[in-house]
């Protein structure tokens, strides 16, 4: 396995409004994205000067600025920085202008003001991933044929997922040496670690190895089967190209054999992986429906927590008479209302009820379609949001956007964890409601104490703002503003203070080496640890230790 290449980037922000520049520096978790240096300029003229000196990899710029606008600046910079990527900020009135600029080249994306966090983050990630891909290609000199096939295969899978096949898939497969395959089997492999766990990128190499073992077990009599892979977030979408005679590509698989292969390939991480197989297609363009089917089949993990592979429901859906079993019955609706609004609401009682409801619904809906079970969760979330709107609670305080489209379901392995998370969110919402009735914003101090405890428990990990937002049910951009407005520091400074405070305590133990303290406090670079410690404590860790007499 090749060692992972860690890419770092320089960012330049060109914006004439100082507050906006400062906000952009805090809006994303730049270190998590690999951005190690950020430079600023207040107009295009200054931007050219800074860029030629610092040579940024990514430039984030406004269009209209005094002296020299963003587009003119880019046009002058491009010959000197041909490998840089440019992202422009634009208001609604400049929207068409920005689109035209993108068509002219040089500009990778635009962000429409006011920024939408998830969309903006996705655009920035795309630019950085493109830079990483260009660096990899440049370092290699030329892509090996195998790597080129993998890249093209991934693009092919993405186009099929997006429903954009117009016959190009079959032409490319023929040119790549896939001679008259008989069937195409869509597969979905999901990686679901514990909430708060570090995923990194290592899981992708493990996922590909696991998929290879699973496909061999899926088609033991078809050794010529090949797979094309495309990664999106923590999911691998694969297309198995099968050369099996007599319709064997769609036969019922040996689930026990496949799960055994998955356990052997993934080792201790086996519980984090779930694989599903959609129906085989005879032409590539029909695979999109199979992937959608496979994604729905993954819901089966909530009903059968011991299974890791799903190809079809264990039993056919049962049609029942009367009220659908997935909805909240009157008793459950009343309980939910009490958990949210009752003055004497008991957090532990809320947790017990949600845990029991989750287990009960998973057992009842195991014989139903996934939609029935998802409808229950949607009803719970909908009732909670209606409660928030009714009582004037700022909704962005108590939800992540993943709640609205139910995409948060993909973060959990089983019903107990999922409904446990929902319970904590409902407890939080109820606490916000009751606090608002008695005294102004008493939750502010409490939430920072809770975040500090969360970070302290993971002191040796890279705990990002997104991880904290997910854990405490906040919109990440709102949480970032909350740090600034209430503590007058950003999230990274908050975490740094915690780490340095614990580092001081560890340094008082003479048995610990300074390098050990560095690792214990989550710093991968000793040089960075010393620099950060000095910026906060006014002295190096060694000097602090001498001062303390240890």
Question: 341 Cβ partners below 8 Å, 6+ apart?
Answer: 387, 430, 433
Q: How would residue 472 be classed by pLDDT, with cut points 50, 70 and 90?
A: confident
Q: Please name the helix (run of DSSP H) or strand (run of DSSP E) that holds residue 466, with its range, or none.
A: helix 465-472
Among 127-141, 145-159, 187-201, name the most confident range.
127-141
Quick one: 125 and 170 in the same domain?
Answer: no
Whether the predicted pLDDT of 2 surpasses 50: no
Considering the domain architecture, whether residues 154 and 213 belong to the same structural domain is answered as: yes
Count of residues making up the chain: 550
Is 44 part of any domain?
yes
Residue 29 lies in a domain: yes
394/465: higher pLDDT: 465
Predicted confidence (pLDDT) per residue in 167-196, tens digit: 667 777 776 666 666 788 999 999 888 765
For residues 334-352, b (16+ Cβ closer than 10 Å) or e, as one string?
Answer: ebbebbbeeeebeeeebbe
Structure tokens at 44: 């295009």
Helical ranges in 141-248 per DSSP H: 145-161, 168-175, 202-218
Q: What is the mean pLDDT of the chain?
A: 80
pLDDT number for residue 1: 39
- Identify the CATH number of the domain in which residue 469 sits: 1.10.10.60
Q: At what angle do helices 330-341 and 370-390 cross, to 10 degrees?
A: 40
Residue 439 banded pLDDT, cuts 50, 70, 90: very low
Tell which residue, 238, 58, 212, 71, has the closest CA to residue 157.
238
Q: What's the burial of 172, exposed, middle or buried (CB within 10 Å: 0-12/13-18/19+)?
A: middle
Q: Is residue 85, in this structure, part of any structural domain at all?
A: yes
Q: Please check whether residue 230 lies inside any domain of the structure.
A: yes
At 498 the pLDDT is 94
Q: Are residues 25 and 117 in the same domain?
A: yes
What is the DSSP code (8-state) at residue 143?
A: -
Domain presence at residue 321? no
Regarding whether 165 and 303 lie in a shared domain, the answer is yes
* 248-257 mean pLDDT: 74
Task: Name the token pair of 319.
Answer: 């049609």
Please report which confidence band the pLDDT of residue 501 belongs to, taking 50, 70 and 90 as the band edges.
very high
Closest CA to 23 of 114, 147, 94: 114
Tokens of 88: 């422009």
What confidence score (pLDDT) does residue 189 get?
A: 92
pLDDT of residue 220: 86
Judging by beta carbons within 10 Å of its beta carbon (0-12, 13-18, 19+), is residue 245 exposed, middle or buried? exposed
Its pTM stands at 0.57
Phi and psi torsions of 89, nearest 5°: -95, 135
Q: How many domains does the chain have?
A: 4
Mean pLDDT, range 107-127, rounded to an integer = 82
Do 274 and 353 lie in a common domain?
no
Say what the pLDDT of residue 18 is. 85
pLDDT at residue number 39: 95
Domain boundary among 413, 440, 467: 440
How far is residue 465 from each of residues 30, 114, 128, 265, measured CA to CA in Å? 10, 20, 19, 32
Span 481-502, average pLDDT: 90
Tell me: do 183 and 299 sit in the same domain: yes
b/e for 139-159, b at 16 or more Cβ within 10 A? eeeeeeeeeebeeebbebbeb
**CATH number of domain containing 61:** 3.40.50.2300
Q: Is the pLDDT of residue 442 over 50?
A: no
The C-alpha angle 62, 66, 72, rounded to 5 degrees, equals: 60
Please say whether the beta carbons of 287 and 186 come within 8 A: yes
Residues 40 and 132 in one domain: yes
> Based on the domain organization, do 304 and 356 belong to the same domain?
no
* Strand partners of residue 281: 184
- Residue holding tokens 């503003």? 481
The last residue of one of the domains, among 310, 341, 373, is 310
- Give pLDDT, residue 441: 45
Give one DSSP letter per residue of 79-103, joined into a string.
TT-TT-EEEEEE-GGGHHHHHHHHH
Last residue of a domain, one of 119, 140, 161: 140
Residue 65 placed within a domain: yes
Residue 465 lies in a domain: yes
Q: Which pLDDT score is estimated for 270?
A: 75
Instruction: Indicate if 182 and 282 belong to the same structural domain.
Output: yes
Q: Of 328, 477, 505, 323, which is closest to residue 394 (Cα–Cα)?
A: 477
Please enumerate, as own/partner, the contacts of 398-404 that have beta carbons within 8 Å and a separation of 24 or more. Answer: 398/425, 398/428, 398/429, 398/432, 398/473, 398/474, 399/425, 399/473, 399/475, 400/469, 400/470, 400/473, 400/474, 400/475, 400/476, 401/117, 401/118, 401/475, 402/470
pLDDT digits (tens, 9 = 90+) for 34-57: 999 999 999 999 999 999 999 999
Radius of gyration of the chain measured on its C-alpha atoms: 26
User: pLDDT tens, 95-108?
Assistant: 666 666 665 566 78
Residues 464 and 92: their CA atoms lie apart, in Å, by 31
Q: pLDDT tens digits for 370-417?
A: 777 788 888 888 888 888 878 877 665 555 566 766 778 888 888 888
pLDDT value at 465 more than 50: yes
Kindly state whether residues 342 and 382 are assigned to the same domain: yes
Contacts for 208 with CB less than 8 Å, ≥ 6 apart: 229, 236
Instruction: Supply 418's token pair.
Output: 């999922």
Q: Where are the beta strands (DSSP E) in 157-272?
A: 183-191, 226-232, 235-242
User: Is the domain of 112 the same as that of 165?
Assistant: no
Integer Cα distance of 308 and 263 in angstroms: 9
448 belongs to a structural domain: no
* Residue 66 shares a structural domain with residue 113: yes
φ, ψ (nearest 5 deg) of residue 473: 65, 40
Structural domain harbouring 179: 146-310
């Amino acid at each position: 396995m090749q060692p992972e290449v860690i890419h770092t980037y320089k960012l330049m922000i060109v914006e004439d409004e100082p507050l906006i520049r400062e906000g952009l520096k805090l809006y994303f978790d730049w270190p998590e994205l690999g951005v190690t240096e950020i430079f600023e300029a207040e107009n295009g003229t200054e931007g050219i000067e800074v860029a030629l000196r610092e040579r940024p990899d990514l430039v984030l710029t406004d269009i209209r600025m005094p002296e020299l606008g963003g587009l003119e600046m880019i046009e002058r910079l491009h010959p000197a920085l041909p490998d840089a990527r440019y992202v422009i900020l634009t208001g609604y009135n400049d929207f068409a202008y920005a689109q035209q600029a993108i068509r002219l080249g040089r500009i990778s994306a635009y962000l429409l003001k006011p920024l939408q966090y998830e969309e903006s983050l996705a655009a920035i990630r795309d630019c950085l991933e493109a830079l990483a891909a260009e660096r990899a290609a440049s370092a290699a000199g030329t892509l090996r044929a195998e790597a080129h096939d993998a890249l093209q295969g991934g693009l092919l899978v993405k186009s099929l997922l997006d429903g954009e096949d117009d016959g190009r898939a079959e032409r490319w497969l023929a040119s790549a040496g896939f001679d008259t395959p008989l069937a195409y089997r869509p597969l979905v492999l999901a990686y679901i670690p514990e909430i708060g766990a570090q995923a990194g990128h290592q899981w992708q190499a493990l996922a590909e190895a696991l998929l290879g073992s699973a496909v061999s077990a899926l088609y033991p009599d078809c050794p010529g089967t090949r797979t094309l892979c495309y990664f999106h977030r923590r999911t691998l979408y694969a297309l198995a190209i099968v050369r099996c005679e007599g319709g064997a590509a769609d036969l019922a698989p040996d689930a026990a054999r496949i799960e055994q292969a998955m356990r052997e390939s993934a080792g201790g991480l086996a519980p984090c992986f779930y694989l599903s197989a959609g129906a085989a297609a005879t032409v590539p363009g029909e695979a999109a429906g199979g992937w959608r089917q496979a994604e729905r089949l993954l819901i089966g993990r909530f009903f059968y927590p011991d299974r890791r592979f799903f190809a079809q429901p264990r039993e056919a859906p049962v049609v029942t008479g009367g009220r659908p079993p997935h909805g909240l019955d009157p008793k459950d609706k009343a309980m939910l209302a009490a958990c949210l609004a009752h003055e004497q609401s008991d957090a532990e009682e809320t947790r017990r009820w949600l845990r029991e409801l989750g287990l009960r619904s998973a057992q009842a809906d195991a014989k139903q379609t996934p939609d029935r079970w998802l409808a229950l969760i949607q009803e719970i979330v909908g009732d909670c949001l209606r409660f928030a709107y009714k009582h004037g609670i700022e909704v962005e305080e108590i939800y992540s956007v993943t709640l609205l489209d139910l995409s948060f379901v993909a973060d959990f392995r089983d019903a107990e964890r999922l409904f446990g998370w929902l319970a904590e969110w409902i407890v939080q919402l109820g606490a916000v409601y009751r606090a608002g009735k008695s005294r102004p914003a008493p939750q502010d101090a409490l939430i920072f104490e809770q975040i500090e405890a969360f970070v302290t428990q993971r002191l040796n990990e890279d705990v990002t703002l997104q991880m904290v937002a997910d854990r405490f049910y906040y919109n990440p951009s709102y949480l970032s503003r909350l740090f600034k407005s209430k503590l007058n520091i950003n999230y990274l400074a908050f975490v740094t203070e915690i780490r340095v405070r614990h580092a001081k305590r560890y340094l008082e133990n003479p048995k610990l080496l300074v390098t050990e303290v560095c690792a214990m406090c989550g710093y991968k670079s000793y040089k960075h640890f010393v620099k950060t410690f000095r910026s906060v404590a006014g002295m190096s860790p060694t000097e602090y230790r001498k001062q303390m007499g240890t």
